[in-house]
Structure 1
């Protein structure tokens, strides 16, 4: 590109490699604004559109037709492994997530392709095969564990992906959105303390799960912050994430000397099981013993269980938007490649119901 003099001042002569960055610089706007003018002009103010269009004309910019052709032939599908549902679970978190992901994709003409896999290694193999075969544009990782091998494997294979959750190390290198599980159980403890409880138990999973460990840490940190850990240190019990496990663990706590007046459960399945145990002991949930779950499933609402609600819908929207950005970066030069990867930690919200009313006895009683 070079300039030549003319009767109306300098005129830009297009060179062989005018880029969207050249247009953005000439118009004094971002690359994304130029992309919006070219692809979605209704999003841009008239004055800005005129300035960008003038720069496009002056520079002789022509969008990359090959890239646009590639984008047009994209499968417009994102892949996600669907997990099996345990017979005793009441959780519907992946269902909510997939629904949110599908809704966000539908708004931009993308859809979700579900598949099954017996383990993590098989999942990454299928993700890679689907992507290389052109069946999907990108994939989603769900239920990421602290030392999950999947992000590293997909990065090595060059597969575009975003994750719900993050690993203990290396998370800065890929896109993810996650929920602050530690803050969730801490808010449950704060709520119970404010209601007058002092002996607050915890029903959790065995150690080794990113989500389970984070929720246990939230209970522990909040109890310590309130100065209640010493009188509750024996009230932390763990088991499988099932209703029967929640019942068994709660019975164990209620049969101990100095039983808890309240418990925080790591999931609604454990929480619903705890409610069964409370009633079996002739006690009234919320009045004699308070119970708070986690995930705010439909079952929690049905039985009046207070529960911590994850912003799953927002996670789905964020991840779909990030997948589209990653796919666009690979297929269309109009996408701003300098944009930072998605790294978002969202705070959950406690939904209070009848199961966590103030205790009948005096605090510490």
Structure 2
């Protein structure tokens, strides 16, 4: 059986001291860029992985990132978070970190679970998902100086120039803007938007992309995240004779409902574009905006650990470096 590579092996190959290798792993900012790159090449070439248990004893860190596992609720769009958690776990493992999933059915229960994990020293940082206006989880973590990054912006008045905390998000407005632009190439201004009721940060952001791309006011339809309700709303609009030749939707769930309504009304020509690029949209041949959750995972780890670091580094939410905005891509079918 081949002996796994050690810190000494990395130091020898990179022609540096053992302490320099340790600094690259635990405090990369103190190492010169050229030296850091040489050590990283040696780590990659040897396939070296830091020993998590030994590092925990030495640094009093758990080498673990906690993330809430959302309750299973069925539906179409849960696959996006599944892909994100999978990518986060895989990429964290490449940096010698683990991901701990914890369950909670209510915000109050989640706060209690976070408190237990932090007080017991079981995690070094937390990744929040499903952020919303006035999120109490973010306030709790900020008050206790617990390192965290949110998948989802703080939804404050200015999340970029005056960020409340570190965050990574998908540029929903850019994705819907691209979808609307594509639709307008063939139907000009007869592009409707099917979104959620106003007040959802994510939904309002996606709707903004549609409004910015349209040169004239268009038809705005509203439905909850439900296929049957989306189908009924679109069916009613078509029955009323609304002039619409394309519908851009805030999610694939809404898009599926819109497609079913168009088919039932004999409007096979009606272009429907979703958001999330789920397997369901692919199976139905629907164009959709893909969020690229793997890039979100990279952004989260970059903010938590630095570009190549192997441990959590606390950093302030400084304008210009506190967020990563991932631009999604339009997948046409």
TM-score using structure 1 length: 0.71
User: Structure 1 155/90 Cα, relative in aligned 2: closer, same or farther at 3 Å?
Assistant: closer
- Equivalent pair of 1:36/1:43 in contact (CA under 8 Å): no
Within a 5 Å distance, the mapping from 1:192-207 to structure 2 comes to: 192-207=183-198
Residue 221 to residue 139, structure 1, CA distance change in 2 (3 Å): same
CA distance in 2, matches of 1:99, 1:183: 25
Q: How does 1:84-103 map to 2 (within 5 A)?
A: 84-103=71-90
CA contact (8 A) 1:188 1:264 kept: yes
Partner residue, 2:39: 42
Equivalent residues of 1:78, 1:112 under 8 A apart:
yes
Deviation at 1:70, TM superposition (A): 5.3
User: SS of 1:201's equivalent?
Assistant: strand
Point out the structure with max Rg over C-alpha.
Answer: 1
Secondary structure at the aligned position of 2:240 is classed as: coil
Distance in 2 between residues matched to 1:263 and 1:271, nearest whole Å: 8
Which shows bigger deviation, 80-89 or 96-105? 80-89
Alignment partners' CA distance in 2, 1:135 and 1:217: 40
Task: Tell whether the 8 Å contact from 1:270 to 1:293 is kept in structure 2 after alignment.
Answer: yes
Which residue of 2 is the match for residue 33 of structure 1? 31
Unmatched tracts of structure 1, length 5 or more: 1-19, 24-29, 46-67, 354-365
| Partner of residue 292 from structure 1, selected from 262, 270, 273 | 273
Contact 1:89/1:243 (8 A) holds in 2: no
Q: Secondary structure at the match of 1:350?
A: strand
Tell me which residue corresponds to 1:116. 103
- 1:248 corresponds in structure 2 to 232
Unaligned runs of 5+ in 2: 1-19, 43-54
Look up the match of 2:137.
150
Taking structure 1 as reference, are residues 130 and 261 closer, same or farther at Cα in structure 2, changes over 3 Å only?
A: same
2:328 is the alignment partner of 1:344: no
- Choose the corresponding residue for 2:265, options 281, 293, 296: 281
Deviation, 1:195, is: 2.0
Provide the C-alpha distance between the structure 2 equivalents of 1:130 and 1:260, rounded to a whole number of angstroms.
52
Q: For residues 343 and 275 of structure 1, do their structure 2 counterparts lie closer, same or farther at Cα, with a shift above 3 Å needed?
A: same
Maintained 8 Å contact 1:80/1:141: yes
Alpha-carbon distance in structure 2 between the residues aligned to 1:243 and 1:140: 30
Q: Distance in 1 between matches of 2:166 and 2:58?
A: 21
Between 1:86-95 and 1:124-133, the stretch displaced more is: 86-95
2:206 pairs with 1:215: yes
**Contact 1:216–1:266 (CA<8 Å) still a contact in 2?**
yes
Q: 2:305 maps to what in 1? A: 324
**Counterpart in the other structure of 2:154:** 167
Of 282, 297, 302 in structure 1, the residue corresponding to residue 283 of structure 2 is 302
Preserved CA contact (<8 Å) 1:124 1:154: no
**1:312 counterpart (293, 297, 311):** 293
Q: Could you tell me how far 1:69 is from its partner in structure 2?
A: 6.4
Separation (CA, whole Å) in 1 of partners of 2:58 and 2:305:
11
Find the aligned partners of 2:271 and 2:320 in 1 and give their Cα distance.
Answer: 43
Taking structure 1 as reference, are residues 159 and 222 closer, same or farther at Cα in structure 2, changes over 3 Å only?
same
Task: Give the direction of change, closer, same or farther, for the CA distance of 1:246–1:188 in structure 2 (3 Å limit).
Answer: same
What is the DSSP-based 3-state SS (H/G/I as helix, E as strand, rest coil) of the residue aligned with 1:183? helix
Once the two structures are TM-superposed, the CA of residue 341 in structure 1 deviates from its matched residue by 4.7
Q: How many pairs align?
A: 289
> Hey, what does 2:16 align to over in structure 1?
none
2:176 matches 1:178: no
TM-score by length of 2: 0.78
